Structure 1
Amino acid sequence: MDQKVRLIGDWLSGAYSKRQLALSYGISRPTLDKWLQRYATAGLDGLKEASRRPLSSPFQTCDAHIAALIELKHQHHDWGPKKLVKVLSNRYPECHWPAPSTAGEWLKRAGLVQERRKRNRPPTGPVKLRPADLPNQTWAADFKGDFLMTDGRRCYPLTLTDQASRFILLCRAQPSVAGAREGFDWAFREYGLPDVIRTDNGSPFASTGLNRLSSLAVWWIRLGIYPERIQPGRPDQNGRHERMHRSLKAALLKTPEANMVQQQLAFERFRQEFNHDRPHEALGMKVPNDLYDKSPRIYTGWVPPAEYGADMEVRKVRTDGSMKWRGRMIFLSESLVGESVGLREVDDNVWDMYLCNYPLGRLDSGASRLSSTQKRKGCPRSRL
């Protein structure tokens, strides 16, 4: 403002031309003419900084739309502007809703946006996992970390999702990890059987025995399901499932329910909303239910017998987890008790062993134990 006043004084003195004043004050001739015109019209008040706000904003978001956006945000605290705008557009397609970036700015002004802490993620190498491009190709299972409910009991949420569609198949409140098989039995009856189930290396999905097989994994193999485990310390290999866990924690687990029944009802409400109402950015803002279809592989509760070809020798695993082979007792795993395994000779006095079509390892002549095809890294968790 002081410079503008001095500029006007120099001009009124008559000692300078417009070109000299423009060069002296470092401004253009049109700018100089603008300030001289404003001074001539309104005096010193014309030199004050005026608002740059346009006289009209035809695309300005109306107050009713902002109110609807904020109200929906209060109902879904963990939803971002993309999901909120998508849901509002589906509900009221006749209205012109703002872009997600604009909606985000309005949410920031309302104090409803919490900035996330940026993390420096280390680079990861290629991971060889089975494809998950179609529904029921790969399911992911895990236990969300246990927490204390208000009645003093601990809850262990068992979760199961379809990797391709992100559809939550199961979200079950359990008093321990021991009842996992009942949860999977329900999911198989409801949605059919997948090709693969991907898990971490913790109990009850894995053990410290042969090929890390647990009794739960043996049951899956008998049903024709391949148990796939991520590398220890690599939760990013099951990132889609872990991302769902973050939404589950934000929505429910910060305020646990009174008891197991109330917690299960809360899980079912979350599952219904996640599958049918919540748009997913990775799915092109569709909801998981738009992409998921039940598996054509029907499950009735019957476990088919293990069948092997004529080129294989079949042995029964005894109650101590061992089998008799060539006059010797070979220990396998207690998880295989009662199962029939098949051995195929691949070289002189060298046999590959299978449970159904799942490779268990290799048996060399004279060896007292089976050599596993998988390295035993880490150990299963004792508590989640």
Structure 2
Amino acid sequence: MDQRIELIHAWSSGDYSKSELARSYGISRPTLDKWLQRYAEHGEAGLLEQSRRPLSSPQQTATALIERLIEEKLRHLDWGPKKLLVRLRKQDPELPWPAPSTAGEWLKRAGLVQSRRRPRSTPASVTPLRAGLQPNHVWCADFKGQFRTGDGRWCYPLTLTDQASRYLLCCRGLPRPGGGLSRPWFEWAFREYGLPEAIRTDNGSPFASVGVGGLSRLAVWWIHLGIHPERIAPGRPDQNGRHERMHRSLKAAVLKPPAPNLAQQQMAFERFRQEFNTIRPHEGLGMAVPAERYGPSPRPYPARLPAIEYPTGLQLRRVHSNGCIKWQGRSVFLSEALIDEWVALREVETDVWELRFGQYPLGRLGPGSSQVQRLSV
């Protein structure tokens, strides 16, 4: 303290520069400036040693907040960090509660967050989408978003259109979206209109699966019938834009509000289908109606399901009940959708084999590999 007072007096005399004083007292220029500023602001009291204790204790505050967050989480185990923070901010709005991402990290470190298992993605379509310029080249299928009818029951509208003519082949309200309930209505459409060359869908159930090639049981059935399953890219509903546009019209016409029950809703669907096909002009068809551009397919629905046939010279393997085939002494998983089906392998490079189900490419098997490599378009 005495040295600091002596330094101030020496500076006040005007006989010394700051550099000379700093060298004489063995301090840096910034330190000298600090003491001069403190003296100018507070006098000799400013030269006293000040406490090094921080004005705030972030760590202590964070620990208290973590404890409160964990206590609230234990009361509401099914709540996420956003809901927990909303409640805590209402209780103590003056506290510096963290962002939801930080709160989530705190809960994860405390073992109160169960990591979500990343769902397996459906493989991308292995063939490019067809143009569908003529009727029955491409049919488009989808489920219009589910809704509840007036009696509170769910309705999942299965829709099927012809890509070229926009003809609405089928619109059927189902209580569930599974393949078991969907297949009879595809069969009805095949009997009524014949078989298309391809059916375009999204990557959801029951049209696709996470197995090799993305095939579902419904798609396997289509391949038996000589129909090529094609899927739009994930997140690209525009690749099925004509079908999606029909869904907009369907929603505006018969879902505001929904019918009192599923039977009456189906009647509304049929009225819409008749109007859409035979009365409503379509700008994309030069103001013609879809019925003027559509005609049934020349390929009839067969009385018996055709078997998959392969040319000679290919290696054939039967898919076992666990969805696997045996290949070069290894078990290779394909898909449960292919159980009891025959698949073919063709060598395309040295010990590299192309795997197919009928004409549909599934992937490739490399040297010593027990996992099918996905194909890309």
User: What range is the shorter-chain TM-score in?
Assistant: 0.5 to 0.7
Q: 2: CA distance between counterparts of 1:346 and 1:374?
A: 16
SS in structure 1 of the partner of residue 363 of structure 2 = strand
The residue type paired with residue 275 of structure 1 is N
| Equivalent residue, structure 1, for 2:65 | none
Q: 1: CA distance between counterparts of 2:129 and 2:273?
A: 26
SS in structure 1 of the partner of residue 166 of structure 2 = coil
Please list the CA deviations of residues 73-120 of structure 1 after superposition, one character each: whole Å capped at 9, or x if unmatched.
Answer: xxxxxxxxxxxxxxxxxxxxxxxxxxxxxxxxxxxxxxxxxxxxxxxx
Q: 2: CA distance between counterparts of 1:224 and 1:202?
A: 22
Determine whether 1:206 maps to 2:208: yes
Q: 2: CA distance between counterparts of 1:222 and 1:339?
A: 10
**Greater mean deviation of Cα atoms: 161-170 or 299-308:** 299-308
Determine whether 1:242 maps to 2:248: no
The residue type paired with residue 189 of structure 2 is A
| Equivalent residue, structure 1, for 2:277 | 275
The residue type paired with residue 293 of structure 1 is G
Determine whether 1:167 maps to 2:167: yes
Flag structure 2 segments of 5+ consecutive residues without an equivalent: 1-126
The aligned length equals: 249
2:326 corresponds, among 309, 318, 324, to 324
| Equivalent residue, structure 2, for 1:139 | 139
2:267 corresponds, among 240, 250, 265, to 265
Q: 2: CA distance between counterparts of 1:313 and 1:208?
A: 25
| Equivalent residue, structure 1, for 2:230 | 228
| Equivalent residue, structure 2, for 1:298 | 300
Please list the CA deviations of residues 25-70 of structure 1 after superposition, one character each: whole Å capped at 9, or x if unmatched.
Answer: xxxxxxxxxxxxxxxxxxxxxxxxxxxxxxxxxxxxxxxxxxxxxx
Q: 2: CA distance between counterparts of 1:330 and 1:132?
A: 35
Please list the CA deviations of residues 164-209 of structure 1 after superposition, one character each: whole Å capped at 9, or x if unmatched.
Answer: 0000000001001111111111111111110111111111111122
SS in structure 1 of the partner of residue 316 of structure 2 = strand
| Equivalent residue, structure 1, for 2:55 | none
| Equivalent residue, structure 1, for 2:347 | 345
RMSD (Å), alpha carbons: 1.4
Q: Post-superposition shift, 1:297? A: 0.7
The residue type paired with residue 160 of structure 1 is L
Contact 1:211–1:374 at 8 Å: present in 2 too? no
Q: 1: CA distance between counterparts of 2:282 and 2:319?
A: 47
Q: Post-superposition shift, 1:128? A: 4.9
Q: Post-superposition shift, 1:129? A: 2.2
Contact 1:189–1:301 at 8 Å: present in 2 too? no
The residue type paired with residue 130 of structure 2 is R
| Equivalent residue, structure 2, for 1:193 | 195
The residue type paired with residue 324 of structure 2 is S
| Residues 1-384 of structure 1: pairs in structure 2 closer than 5 A | 128-178=128-178, 179-374=181-376
The residue type paired with residue 269 of structure 1 is R
Residues 301, 257 of structure 1: alpha-carbon distance in 2 compared, 3 angstrom cutoff? farther
Percent sequence identity over aligned pairs: 60
Contact 1:185–1:301 at 8 Å: present in 2 too? no
SS in structure 2 of the partner of residue 353 of structure 1 = strand
SS in structure 2 of the partner of residue 343 of structure 1 = strand
Flag structure 1 segments of 5+ consecutive residues without an equivalent: 1-126, 376-384
The residue type paired with residue 291 of structure 1 is R
| Equivalent residue, structure 2, for 1:5 | none
Q: 1: CA distance between counterparts of 2:177 and 2:293?
A: 30
Q: Post-superposition shift, 1:300? A: 3.1
Please list the CA deviations of residues 336-369 of structure 1 after superposition, one character each: whole Å capped at 9, or x if unmatched.
Answer: 1111101111122111111001101111121111
The residue type paired with residue 138 of structure 2 is T
Q: Post-superposition shift, 1:302? A: 2.2
What TM-score do the two structures reach when normalised by structure 1? 0.63
